[in-house]
Structure 1
Amino acid sequence: MTEPLIELKGVSKSFGSHKVLDNVDLTIYRGEALGIIGPSGTGKSTILRIMAGLLAPDEGEIYVQGVRRDGLIEDGGDPVGIGMVFQQAALFDSLTVEENVGFLLYQNSKLPRSRIRELVKEKLEMVGLPGITNLYPAELSGGMRKRVSFARAIMSNPDNPSETPEVLLYDEPTAGLDPIASTVIEDLIRYLQSAQGVCGTYAVVTHQDSTIRRTSDRLVFLYEGKVQWQGTVSEIDSTEHPLIRQFISGNVHGPIQVAG
């Protein structure tokens, strides 16, 4: 097995009396495409936020490239960069596409504005969106907003290569998109994994069958706060595990309890 980049050991998280994650062990290895699947409300987005250092667990340990993380990402940098693409794109409505994509560089770097604009254009071209730097998020389709958020997530500072993302975390990247727009996003996720100078490791949370099959190599199935099954994408059609069979078929009858 290749090098572990992110490791969660015995991670638990509760919100009030509701235990979302219960003693979860999970590892992302360098160069892999990990899919995190399961019914709604089973902690998939929570686990991404913990990996990204945006949320602290109640119990357990997080290691990034073998170094234990204490606190949140803002409390001390990780040894590798981690970028996150949020479900709703999370763009600033009052800022242009250029200002959104280059936001961290404008805020935290000493690069001249002309250089940041060049880097923004480069990233937008990588996600297939040239010539839109002066537009605002309200002027973009849902799929375009998602791609702008991808460009922001892969933005790097040439003066500080250690900040370049080596892992991308995608939270429901195709949610709310039509099948064609979803295919564009799925292809883009794979393209960015193979593109030179862009991180080659990612985890994607998704419910969508096409996204599971087209963007993931290894799968982790979460239910009731625990990892219930792990396997390859090809195994989801052959396993007899009752949770996977029900989830993939969409059957309302089975061990997964359907919310009323």
Structure 2
Amino acid sequence: MTAPLIELKAVSKRFGSSVVLDEVNLTIFAGEALAIIGPSGTGKSTILRTIAGLLAPDSGEVYIKGQLRLGGVEERANPIGIGLVFQQAALFDSLTVDENVGFSLYQHSNLPRHRIQELVREKLEMVGLGDIGDRYPAELSGGMRKRVSFARAIMEDPDNAEDNPEVLLYDEPTAGLDPIASTVMEDLIRHLQRVAGVCNTYVVVTHQESTIRRTADRVVLLYQGKVQWQGKLAEIDTTDNPMVRQFFSGNVEGPIPVIG
């Protein structure tokens, strides 16, 4: 069997007295579209930040292409590029779209400004946006801001191919969007993988059913800091797992209690 591209072994993370991840084992394979689902506050976003290297686990190990990670992204410890799309887009309000999308190149590359602007335009076109490089985030709709954040996540440096993203991590990419805008985002995620050939491996954290069904090949259910179930997308309709059944039915009765 092909070795995992990313593997978490018995990873735990605690914030104060709260155990967010409890000895989580997770594998991600090259070319895979994985959805991590579960109720709010169960550690889904924490897993993404751990994979990206933004958080260090309290215990357990993270392997990237079979290599044990010994540090975070600030120590350039990842043997592959990993791009993270934040839930709220996380754009810099004081910077233009061009400056947001090209931020890493403006800060860390030796490319001339006109070349970076060309690359920015290419990425904006790839996510279905026109010539909006001179606009500010406040001038954009919520869906447009999300797509700008996609463009930033897939930005590549032609002089440093080893730093270019090989895996994309999407944190609630359709949160706060209406059904039509959500469909646009879901189609874009698949388009980047299947058509554009950009980062054909991705993990999407979501609790929105349409996003799960339209973007995932495999699904992992996380609850109380543990992986409670995992399987192929089609299995969510056939499994007898009570948590999966409750999650997709929206039933208030079941093993997942209603909070508040």
**Common fold, TM-score beyond 0.5?**
yes
SS at match of 2:169: strand
Q: Is the 8 A contact 2:70 2:77 kept in 1?
A: no
Equivalent position of 1:106 in the other structure = 106
User: What is the identity, as a one-letter code, of the residue corresponding to 1:38?
Assistant: G
Alignment of 1:208-219 (within 5 A): 208-219=208-219
User: What is the identity, as a one-letter code, of the residue corresponding to 1:138?
Assistant: A
The CA deviation at 1:197 is 5.0
Q: Does 1:233 align with 2:224?
A: no
Alignment of 1:173-212 (within 5 A): 173-212=173-212
Q: TM-score, normalised by structure 1?
A: 0.98
Alpha-carbon distance in structure 1 between the residues aligned to 2:47 and 2:14: 12
Q: Does 1:96 align with 2:127?
A: no
SS at match of 1:234: helix
Equivalent position of 1:121 in the other structure = 121
Alpha-carbon distance in structure 2 between the residues aligned to 1:77 and 1:113: 28
Equivalent position of 1:252 in the other structure = 252
User: What is the identity, as a one-letter code, of the residue corresponding to 2:92?
Assistant: F
SS at match of 1:132: coil
1:72-110: CA deviations, max 9, x gaps?
111233111000000000000000000000000000000
Alpha-carbon distance in structure 2 between the residues aligned to 1:162 and 1:183: 32
Equivalent position of 1:40 in the other structure = 40
The CA deviation at 1:257 is 1.4
Q: TM-score, normalised by structure 2?
A: 0.98
1:97-143: CA deviations, max 9, x gaps?
00000000000000000100000000000000011000000000000
1:226-258: CA deviations, max 9, x gaps?
000000111111111100000000011110011
Equivalent position of 1:150 in the other structure = 150
Equivalent position of 1:131 in the other structure = 131
Say how many residue pairs are matched: 260
Alpha-carbon distance in structure 1 between the residues aligned to 2:78 and 2:161: 13
Q: Does 1:63 align with 2:58?
A: no
RMSD over equivalenced CA pairs, Å:
0.9
Q: Does 1:73 align with 2:76?
A: no
Alpha-carbon distance in structure 1 between the residues aligned to 2:123 and 2:154: 7
The CA deviation at 1:198 is 1.4
Give structure 1 stretches of 5+ with no counterpart: none
Alpha-carbon distance in structure 1 between the residues aligned to 2:43 and 2:71: 19
Alpha-carbon distance in structure 2 between the residues aligned to 1:204 and 1:164: 19
SS at match of 1:4: coil
User: What is the identity, as a one-letter code, of the residue corresponding to 2:63?
Assistant: Y
User: What is the identity, as a one-letter code, of the residue corresponding to 2:212?
Assistant: I
Give structure 2 stretches of 5+ with no counterpart: none
The CA deviation at 1:2 is 3.6
The CA deviation at 1:196 is 4.4
User: What is the identity, as a one-letter code, of the residue corresponding to 1:89?
Assistant: A
SS at match of 1:235: helix
SS at match of 2:5: strand
Equivalent position of 2:30 in the other structure = 30
Relative distance call for 1:138 and 1:189 in structure 2 (3 A) is: same
Alpha-carbon distance in structure 2 between the residues aligned to 1:26 and 1:188: 25
SS at match of 2:177: coil
- Give the ranges of 4+ consecutive aligned residues of structure 1 lying more than 6 Å apart after TM superposition: none
Alpha-carbon distance in structure 2 between the residues aligned to 1:46 and 1:170: 12
